[in-house]
Chain A
Amino acid sequence: MRIPWVTLSFVAVAAAAGFSPNTIDWLEYRQAAVSAGEWWRPFSAHLVHWSARMTAVDLGAVLLLGALLERRSRFTVVLAIASAILLVGLGLHFLPPPIGRYRGSSSVASALYVALALDLRRGSMGRFGRGAAAAMLALFVLKVCAEAWTGEAIFAGAMGAGVTVLPRAHLLGAAGGAVAWGAAARRGAGGRGVSVPSGAPSGPSSRSS
């Protein structure tokens, strides 16, 4: 059984970061601090959380989704995490309205969710399985789009007191997951070590990375 090292490493680093208030101070996103030159914050904010409950929920989601996806394609997991961190980080700082602070890894989980759903949809499951994966993907995308459009959270989950939901984080995270899966699929379709099951569309699920 493949050990999901990438996912475990991300979760371990994020869990460890939560134990030190000083580390959280260094890693969370703060608009003014970034403007003052602390450029890493939009990207490191995904490693810290507002509360222990939020840490458990977000990292639990990352762990489960990442482990499932990494069984299928480690490369896709690396791309999904990286693209979510990059896209959401840039969106935090440059997209309106400005925010004060941001913490959380749920956007990374969103990326992994979308990448996994896309991978399942294009995988070698039967029609029911592919249809179910497509439905789960559509529901998730609809939800984050609706949240981003209205600016209101739907079924808001674990957050800290006084913390508001930033819908664009999940939307950008989902976009990062789609981009990652697409890039992995292109790489797989390029014929480098790809084994495409007979009768199944090509995708990153069919390659071993």
Chain B
Amino acid sequence: MQSGTHVWSRWPTVPALLLALLAGGLSACATGYPRQTRSSALEYLYPRGASPAPPADVTLRTPLRIGIAFAPAPRFANERISATDKQELLEKVAAAFRGRPGIGGVEVIPANHLTAREPVPPAAATVAATIGSTGFDELDRLKAAFGIDLMALVSYDQAQFSETGKSSWAYWTIVGLYVVKGEKNGTETMLDAVVYDIASRTLLFNAAGQSRIAGSATPIDVERALRLASDAGFKQATDDLIVKLGVALETFQKQAATGTVRGPGTPAIALLGADGKPVGGGEDTSGAFGAAEGIAILVLALLALRRG
């Protein structure tokens, strides 16, 4: 199965998952299942039990200030990417977008400002929804603290496989599921960025960067090789993400100029300049019939009826 295709297939069976859990302390070579490290914007923004925010119209005042951060990984997750590495990758993405038209600044938000979400038991789901404990509440606070308008949340998922053809890697993004077949000692990395307007809680655009590093046939030091491949995977996926984000941003800007986020039926969007006036397209206008026209029409009506 090719990377990037949306398919439902090859879900590991429950016994296989149990086996993988039991063998967690062993080398990936022994289990045949991928060693995985991940974080998810989907789980952060919409933790289990939280009600999705309804789509709302968007008003953006340029130049925009954008925050960028990694979506926090689940608590106690065994992350293979350090906080320092994350910061470096985000700085690289931020640098690529600073100074672009309409962007006033890109602020890298330190990881400790975003709280990892824990799965909410079904019984507590209603309570969680009631108290409004979604990631958006935290984004509202970051908006105030950092003076940002938009938030780019980067999710990552990296899987390293020890055997060929016996496992696959499934990755949920905001827009769908990716399934990738594992290659021996291969490293698959996905970085998925979603850009939200914090005020309206509307998804503006998203992009995904990917990397696939083939495994060495006879690595002398498998662990070291996998670690190096992991680092390289994140770097390659970041480079790919920067390119894809650039394309997504241009597409979004063109689409936004037509007045909606993603075409008719999606939330309306208004791009305003610093003076509060619409950017590049003039004003909202109409004719205006008022009292004067009303009187004139009545006089005409009387004349017409008088004759008729």
**When the two chains form their complex, are residues A22 and B296 in contact, meaning their CB atoms are under 8 A apart?**
no
Does B303 sit at the interface, judged by CB under 8 A?
A: yes
A157 touches B282 (CB 8 A): no
Contact A133 B300 (CB under 8 A): yes
Decide yes or no whether B283 CB sits under 8 A from chain A.
yes
Q: Beta-carbon contacts of B281-308 to A below 8 Å, as 1s and 0s? A: 1111111111111101101110111111
Which among B254, B285, B306 is the interface contact of A129 at CB below 8 angstroms? B306
CB <8 Å contact, A117 and B300: yes
Q: A13 in the interface, Cβ–Cβ < 8 Å?
A: no
* A33 at interface, CB cutoff 8 A: yes
Say whether A173 contacts B257, CB under 8 Å: no
Min distance, Cβ A89 to any Cβ of chain B, angstroms: 13
Cβ contact of B264, chosen from A26, A32, A68, A164, cutoff 8 A? A26
CB distance from A130 to the nearest CB of B (A): 9
Asked if B286 and A165 make an inter-chain contact with CB atoms under 8 angstroms apart, the answer reads yes
* A101 CA / B258 CA spacing, docked (Å): 10
Contact between chains at B281 and A32 (CB < 8 Å):
yes
What is the minimal beta-carbon distance from B87 to any residue of chain A, in angstroms? 38
Task: Confirm or deny: B265 has a beta carbon within 8 angstroms of a beta carbon on chain A.
Answer: yes
Partner of B296, one of A97, A113, A129, A157: A113
A49 surroundings in chain B (CB, below 8 A): 286
Known A-B contacts A25-B260, A33-B258, A61-B293; the reply to A102 vs B286 at CB < 8 A is yes
B289 in contact with A157 (CB, 8 Å):
yes
Are B283 and A164 in touch, CB under 8 angstroms? yes
Interface code A6-31, partner B: CB below 8 Å = 1, 0 otherwise? 00000000000000001001101011
The CA of A151 and the CA of B114, in the complex, are separated in Å by: 51
A52 at the interface (CB under 8 A from B): no
Residues of A contacting B289 in the complex (Cβ-Cβ under 8 angstroms): 57-58, 61, 106, 109, 157-158
A54 to B283, CA, bound (A): 18
Check A44 for interface membership: any CB of B closer than 8 A.
Answer: no
Q: A36-B254, A101-B283, A110-B287 are in contact. List 7 more A-B contacts (CB 8 A).
A: A32-B259, A50-B284, A99-B281, A99-B282, A104-B288, A107-B287, A159-B288
